[in-house]
Amino acid sequence: MPPKLKLVYFNIRGRGELIRLTLHAGGVVFTDERIPYEEWAVRKNQAPNGQVPYIVVDGKMYGEVLPIVRFIGKKCGLLGKSEEDQVYVEILLEQIHKFRDQLIRPKIDSMLNKGQKEFLLKKLREEEIPKFLTRVEEALKISRSGHILGGEVIVVVVVVVVVVVVVVVVVVVVVAAAAAAAAVVVVVVVVVVVGVVVVVVVAVVVVVVGVVVVWNG
Ligand SMILES: N[C@@H](CCC(=O)N[C@@H](CS)C(=O)NCC(=O)O)C(=O)O
């Protein structure tokens, strides 16, 4: 029986979303528990490190986003095949996680005053976000597969198309052969029936002619 997995986070995307997406990408069935903010004061004591997100696997709790994503990614074969792919996945994980923190900081960092928040937001809008998205676009252009890393999906699509074509061809051939076989059976039956009829008719004719000849002496 596969282990029971529960993700515990708030009812927002936030830091928990990377884990949710990884679980969905890996096809893992999981319980998505979302703690209402009002309950957090009570629940905080039960959380590992006193924070969310965390996962519970077969009753054991594990905190920290990136180790959790690596853990699930490894189990589901999402961390890259070659060592080069794996280091690239690690780099992307770190960059995306840091970028997310950067994006959210002007909204949640209570140590920043209004002017500092506006400065950071402007920097994000005009420099950081375009820089990050340009890097993503460049990586997509190089990979050409529609994914930053790995052409597996394209390969899978090709394999699926080939398999479907082969299956269709096989089915058509089998059906045609069956039809041909059925036709042969029909022909054989017709030939046998016609043959029997001809033999019977000839026999009857022979008997009748013989009887008549004998009869007429
Ligand atoms: N380093 C941790 C940070 C987790 C974190 O900051 N969690 C926040 C929510 S996004 C939290 O639990 N805040 C409530 C609290 O600290 O009491 C990770 O990446 O998992």
pLDDT tens, 172-188? 777 787 787 777 777 77
Q: What percentage of the chain's residues is helix, strand, coil (to nearest 5)?
A: 70, 10, 20
The type of residue at 92 is: L
Mutate to test the pocket of ligand 1, among 18, 22, 52, 100 (most ligand atoms within 8 A of CB): 52
* pLDDT attached to residue 204: 58
- What is the distance in A from the centroid of ligand 1 to the CA of 4? 23
Residue of minimum CA distance from atom 10 in ligand 1: 15
CB of 7 within 6 A of ligand 1: the answer is: no
Would the CB of 89 count as within 6 Å of ligand 1?
no
d(CA 79, CA 86): 6
Nearest ligand 1 atom to the CA of 16 is: 10
Q: Give long-range contacts, CB 8 A cutoff, 24+ apart: 54-57.
A: 54/7, 54/8, 55/5, 55/6, 55/7, 55/8, 55/19, 56/4, 56/5, 56/6, 56/8, 57/3, 57/4, 57/5
User: According to the model, what pLDDT value does residue 162 have?
Assistant: 65
Q: Tell me the pTM.
A: 0.69
> What's residue 154's pLDDT?
46
CA distance 19 to 151: 23
**Does the structure show a pLDDT above 90 at 150?**
no
What does the longest C-alpha to C-alpha distance in the chain come to? 136
Cα 68–71–76 angle (5° rounding)? 125
Quick check: CB of 15 below 6 Å from ligand 1? yes
Which is higher by pLDDT, 1 or 140? 140
DSSP state of 57: E
pLDDT digits (tens, 9 = 90+) for 1-60: 567 999 999 999 999 999 999 999 999 999 999 999 999 999 999 999 999 999 999 999
Please report the atom of ligand 1 found closest to the CA of residue 68.
Answer: 20
* Distance of alpha carbon 62 from alpha carbon 71, whole angstroms: 10
Q: How far is the CA of 37 from the centre of ligand 1 (A)?
A: 13
9-44 as b/e: b if 16+ CB within 10 A: bbeeeebbebbeebbeeeeeebeeeebeeeeeeeee
98 CA to centre of ligand 1 in angstroms? 14
Q: Which residue lies with its CA nearest to atom 15 of ligand 1?
A: 51
Determine the atom of ligand 1 nearest the C-alpha atom of 63. Answer: 20
Q: Which two tokens stand for residue 64?
A: 């920290």
